[in-house]
Structure 1
Amino acid sequence: MKALTVIQHDSAEYLGLMEDHLEGRRIRFRYVRPFTGAVPIPDLDLVGDGLVLLGAGPWGTAGERDLPTLAEELALARSCMMANKLVIGIGLGAQIVALAAGGKVERAPLECRVGTARRDDPEGLAGYVPETFPYCTYGRDRAVPPAHARILARDEDGRPLAFQMGETAFGFTFHPGLKVAMIEDLVMEFEESPEGIAAQLPQIRAIQRGIEDALVPIMTGLVAVTGLMV
């Protein structure tokens, strides 16, 4: 049975809808919560078969309000890549994955964005990336994957939403398993929230079913190309 280590940066953001897909495939996962101050970032030999880096609310990576454990997580992501371990970055986690792979981040204000993604690579994730699907991003700063990255999907402005580096590193600037309650909890948990977020909550609720539907092929493809069930 495969096992993943999931680094959680706040109490609101977790794997969400992805949990059921992992459990249904008998893929174990354990949360590590360094934001509590009670546990450190794990060493490489404690990661297991792969590492998942989640979003981080208003924290970023471009210098304005950096994640407190950024340096440690960046080092761990690089170590995982060198060891050919699976690394999946979600939200701010995608920024860390991009940096670890030789890319960069662009400074951007904290924002929440709802839109429709378009597939960029018909063969990405073994061909399982939907041609179009709804997405919601929440966070500060933007991941810029390196030139050698394979772009799987883009937003309406052509910016990467999902990308892959090599065989084992993946970045999702949106949360594929998002639940509306995560956004609501982020607004309550932190003193800083995106401008106009209250007006966006109905939009996020309206695409919840579409997010659930899109996650089915996305997870199927991710499991297929990473060998998580082998």
Structure 2
Amino acid sequence: MPSSANPFTAPSRKPVLIVLHGEHSSPGRIGRLLRELGAPLDIRRPRFGDPLPETMADHSGAVFFGGPMSANDEEDWLKREIDWIGAPLKEQKPFLGICLGAQLLARHLGHRVESHPEGRVEVGYYPIRPTQRGHSLCDCAFPTRVYQWHREGFDCPNGAVLLAEGEDFEAQAIQVGDKAFGFQFHPDVTYAMICKWTVTALERMEQPGAQKRERHIDGWFQYDGAVARWTSAFLSRWLGPADCAGRAFAAAE
């Protein structure tokens, strides 16, 4: 069942489908901002048996979040998620994949998701380079340093437009059609999430290319303001006005 909306914001949209991959995962900042935009959250965890809807008729959009598994794993539930992404693409409904979710979008497009050839990871705050299309995505400057937590990535799939690129992993943000997006980085992350991840997965900070815990914390205070402003502006454009939530999010010129 959809979770209740922010009591201070009158719901004026169909729910946004939220797909989480951890038993105790949270939609973080993305969930809060969607509620502020008047969108209730329909939170589902297919990994733990929750079904996905057959169509997007009862939802105004879908967000697939990250997780500890690989996009190349062979579990049936993961394959079903990859196949299901065809529903919002076909129905021209807003779709957003974050980290693992972006990789699942790439897999749906028939593209490879791979580890770095030198075993490097991105765990911490890293610079990215927005493309011209990325800069014109919404009325806010695209952030140039973002929070990452992944060991696999992909380059830009056929049929997608590159919005931002990185050094170790090329595709940091892509757009597919008018309404589907994939972000390798984590605009959803909150300070509490960073504190938790860097304690419960301390070993990740020992991998090649990863940053030490103190740099994660310092990075939050240095860079999160720009990420927060951009994420709010992006989601407002992504969903569109409440009275015409089905309108196409035209591709950036």
Task: Bin the TM-score by the shorter chain.
Answer: 0.7 to 0.9
**Deviation at residue 206 of structure 1 after TM alignment:** 1.3
Whether 2:124 is the aligned partner of 1:124: answer no
Where structure 2 has 5 or more consecutive residues not aligned to the other structure, the ranges are: 1-11, 245-253
Superposed counterparts of 1:53-202, under 5 Å: 53-57=64-68, 59-63=69-73, 69-108=77-116, 111=121, 112-122=123-133, 123-130=135-142, 132-157=143-168, 159-186=170-197, 193-196=203-206, 200-202=212-214
Q: Compare CA radii of gyration and give the structure with the larger one.
A: 2
Counterpart Cα distance in 1 of 2:198 and 2:230: 30
Q: Percent identity?
A: 21
Query: What TM-score results when the alignment is normalised by the length of structure 2?
Result: 0.75
Greater strand proportion: 1
Counterpart Cα distance in 1 of 2:16 and 2:132: 27
**Deviation at residue 195 of structure 1 after TM alignment:** 4.5
Is 1:180–1:204's contact at 8 Å kept on the other side of the alignment?
A: no
Structure 1 residues 89 and 79, CA gap change in structure 2 (3 angstroms): same
Aligned to 1:216: 229
**Deviation at residue 91 of structure 1 after TM alignment:** 0.6
Of structures 1 and 2, the one with the larger relative CO (CA 8 A, separation 6+) is 1
Q: In structure 2, the residue corresponding to 1:69 is in which secondary structure?
A: helix
| Deviation sequence 1:87-125 (CA, Å, 0-9, x none) | 100010001112223433123468424212222125532
**Deviation at residue 228 of structure 1 after TM alignment:** 5.4
Counterpart Cα distance in 1 of 2:66 and 2:190: 13
Give structure 1 regions of 4+ aligned residues with deviation exceeding 4 angstroms. Answer: 186-190
* Aligned-pair Cα RMSD in Å: 2.9
Structure 1 residues 186 and 116, CA gap change in structure 2 (3 angstroms): same
Where structure 1 has 5 or more consecutive residues not aligned to the other structure, the ranges are: none
Equivalenced residues, count: 224
| Deviation sequence 1:33-54 (CA, Å, 0-9, x none) | 233x342333325761111110
Is 1:121–1:151's contact at 8 Å kept on the other side of the alignment?
A: no
**Deviation at residue 71 of structure 1 after TM alignment:** 0.8
Structure 1 residues 187 and 217, CA gap change in structure 2 (3 angstroms): closer
Structure 1 residues 187 and 70, CA gap change in structure 2 (3 angstroms): farther
Is 2:205–2:213's contact at 8 Å kept on the other side of the alignment?
A: no
Counterpart Cα distance in 1 of 2:76 and 2:65: 14
Structure 1 residues 139 and 199, CA gap change in structure 2 (3 angstroms): closer
